[in-house]
Amino acid sequence: MFMKLSAWVKPTKIKVPHHKNTLNSETVPMPVPNKVRIAMQQHIGAPCIPIVKEGDDVKVGQVIADSEAFVSAPIHSSVSGKIEKVLPSEIIIAADGKQMMDPSIAPPVIENDQDFVQAIKKSGLVGLGGAGFPTYIKLNFSEQDKGKIDTLLINAAECEPYITSDAREILESSYDVLDGIAAFSKHLKVKQAIIGIEDKNPTVIAQLEDILKKENERFKNISIKILPSQYPQGAEKILIESCTNRILPLGKLPSDIGIVVANVTTVATFARYLQTGIPLVARRVTVDGSAVSQPQNVLVPIGTSVKDIIEFCGGYKEEPVKILQGGPMMGTTIPTDEVTTAKRTNAILAFGKKEARQHEESDCIRCARCVDVCPMNLMPVSIDQSVRWNEMENLKTLDLAACIECGLCSFACPSNRHLVQHIRSGKAMLRDLAAKK
Ligand code: SF4
Ligand code: SF4
């Protein structure tokens, strides 16, 4: 019988190295690739359905897929060119290199709250910190519910190793960040907006502080909360606690405790949409890892292949053993560099043999390091064991829903146990069990 623990956040005892090698790399726009492959599943929720057909001419910013589902966001063409193939899972576009804009593109006219929410939806915006949740849903409250929200919390922690795309957003587009926060704050009618940022980025913090001091009247409700650089500081639950001292109970949303959380690049992207009307068709991606010749930040049209991006970054300097979309702790390993970028791709990391840490799993030595480092007070070793042995009754007692999939347990394990993988499997097993009832 396993002990059931409640899921309160605790400070973790393990240091994850930052590796922010590209922090000083100014973002370079990538030349338009010959072809983009735009996936229909760009976000959490329902996939979009293509609304174009093979042979159609398209322009940048033209809607090419949409969905009537509540949790969804339209998808726009990131290039001008011709539709080459339409599949249920993706649309392939041969780019003409001219990047002609769709003539319907114009800054949105916003006269009321519904206009604001519709503008966010039309922009195609999803959480750009990697979560990929359609943004308009987060801001779609009744007037009564809005009255219960007092804080907009901006996630600028970027605690995952290697990734610097949010930090570059702040450095290169500080006013877009602050204008986006002001727009979200005005819509939500919040008393305060807090930017949560780790202390590893003093230059970024100094730049924001400087503007907030100079533009005191314009951005008067915005403050900065400097946080210790400690992975997984940017996890929503942990960020909320660090910045507001409020506890997000299991199964509740931030809005249940008066908070809306948005990623820093998400708000800045919306500010640009307000100015230009150009929807989300490109994004900044950190390209790094020991197998990449020239690590840097690149502005990439959505749907560009990882291969094209790496080639732009000087190609591989050694055989890549592991390629990730996202960071090494929470990102997804991709099987081939033919995979294309999505709206939520904030990083591409390619590692050679040494760094890929693809060590063989060995037997658990019952050292309890995984338990010790878990910020959610879970028992990864017990979850792992219950999943492997299909012990459903035990699994139900282990609070899997509280796991934020931060990867610290796997990182700390001396036996290289695939703990997070098994925790994800365990969550799926419990979902299947619930669906059968
Ligand atoms: S991934 Fe591991 S360390 Fe992170 S919350 Fe889940 S069980 Fe805990
Ligand atoms: S850290 Fe690894 S070896 Fe140690 S108890 Fe957890 S699963 Fe077992």
Q: 281-358: what CATH class?
A: alpha beta
- Each residue's pLDDT tens digit, 91-136: 999 999 999 999 999 999 999 999 999 999 999 999 898 777 899 9
- CA 175 to ligand 1 center in whole angstroms: 36
User: For residue 6, what pLDDT is reported?
Assistant: 39
Q: What is the pTM of this model?
A: 0.93
Average pLDDT across the chain, whole number = 93
User: For residue 12, what pLDDT is reported?
Assistant: 66
Distance CA 22, CA 237 (A): 27
pLDDT at 7 over 70: no
Confidence band for 358, pLDDT divided at 50, 70 and 90: low
Q: Are 39 and 303 in contact (CB under 8 A)?
A: yes
Percentage of residues in the chain having pLDDT higher than 90:
85
User: For residue 10, what pLDDT is reported?
Assistant: 64
Omega into 17 within 30° of 0, i.e. cis? no
pLDDT at 8 over 80: no
- Each residue's pLDDT tens digit, 30-60: 999 999 999 999 877 788 999 999 999 999 9
User: For residue 68, what pLDDT is reported?
Assistant: 87
User: For residue 1, what pLDDT is reported?
Assistant: 33
pLDDT at 159 over 60: yes
- CA 350 to ligand 1 center in whole angstroms: 24
Provide the residue ranges of all domains of the chain, joining segments of one domain with +.
136-276, 281-358, 369-436
- CA 71 to ligand 1 center in whole angstroms: 27
- Each residue's pLDDT tens digit, 377-391: 999 999 999 999 999
Domains 136-276 and 281-358 agree in fold: no
Residue nearest to atom 8 of ligand 1 (CA): 374
CATH code for the structural domain at 136-276: 3.40.50.11540
Residue nearest to atom 4 of ligand 2 (CA): 367
Confidence band for 421, pLDDT divided at 50, 70 and 90: very high
- Each residue's pLDDT tens digit, 73-93: 999 999 999 999 999 999 999
Which residues form the pocket of ligand 2, taking CB atoms under 6 Å from any ligand atom?
Answer: 364-370, 381, 384, 412-415, 417
Q: Of the given ranges (37-46, 360-369, 409-418), which has the lowest mean pLDDT?
A: 37-46
Nearest ligand, measured from the Cα of 373:
1
Can you tell me the mean pLDDT for 189-207?
96
